[in-house]
Amino acid sequence: MLDLLAQTGLNAVYAASYISLIAVGLVLIFGVMGVINFAHGELYMAGAYTVVFLYTDWQLPFFVAVAAGLIFVGFLGLAMERTLFRPLRDNPLGGLVASIGFLMILQALAVMGFGVRMENIPPATQYVIEFSDRVRLPLARLYVIVAAVVLLG
């Protein structure tokens, strides 16, 4: 019973780590720009597909693919701000509608480029930290937890 509780706690810390990064991104966008960006999840998707493409198809190292995904999404977000949100700064409803339109465009491009099948990224490392026979933490999940602590700190 304690093993189940410990494993569930580790899984919850992992899930809370990446969800908190997404939530902070939403808060920053709304707080700084005053725009509700409904395409925020699709930007996350664009970064994930960038990693899928570079890591699985081009066989680039995992952290290089992640860095490229971050850079790609950064430029995509900058382009959104310059072309969609800045001209509509005085019209909050217009920015909302523009972000929904961009959301649909990104979804259509993802379907055209990758199809509707589920993509799988092999883990960057197979190493697993074993606390006991039933409590394990893959090193890839530890990367997410550490990155969230560092970025949120």
Residue 92's pLDDT band (cuts 50, 70, 90): confident
Q: What does the mean pLDDT of the chain come to?
A: 89
Q: What is the DSSP letter of 59?
A: -
Q: Find the length of the chain.
A: 153
Phi, psi of 91 (to 5 degrees): -125, 90
* Cβ neighbourhood burial of 94 (10 Å; 0-12, 13-18, 19+): middle
Q: pLDDT for 10-68, tens place per residue?
A: 999 999 998 998 888 888 877 777 777 888 889 989 999 999 999 988 999 999 999 99
Write the DSSP string, 72-130.
HHHHHHHHHIIIIITTTTT-HHHHHHHHHHHHHHHHHHHHHHH-SSPP-PPPS---EEE
Task: pLDDT band for 89, please (50, 70, 90 cuts).
Answer: confident
Q: pTM for the complete prediction?
A: 0.81
Higher pLDDT, 30 or 3: 3
* Top-ranked range on mean pLDDT: pick from 18-27, 77-86, 104-113: 104-113
- Worst-scoring range by mean pLDDT, 29-33, 37-41, 130-134, 145-149? 29-33
pLDDT reported for residue 76: 95
Answer yes or no: are the C-beta atoms of 138 and 128 closer than 8 Å.
Answer: yes
Measured from the Cβ of residue 96, the count of other Cβ atoms closer than 10 Å reads 15
- Other beta carbons within 10 Å of 24: 13
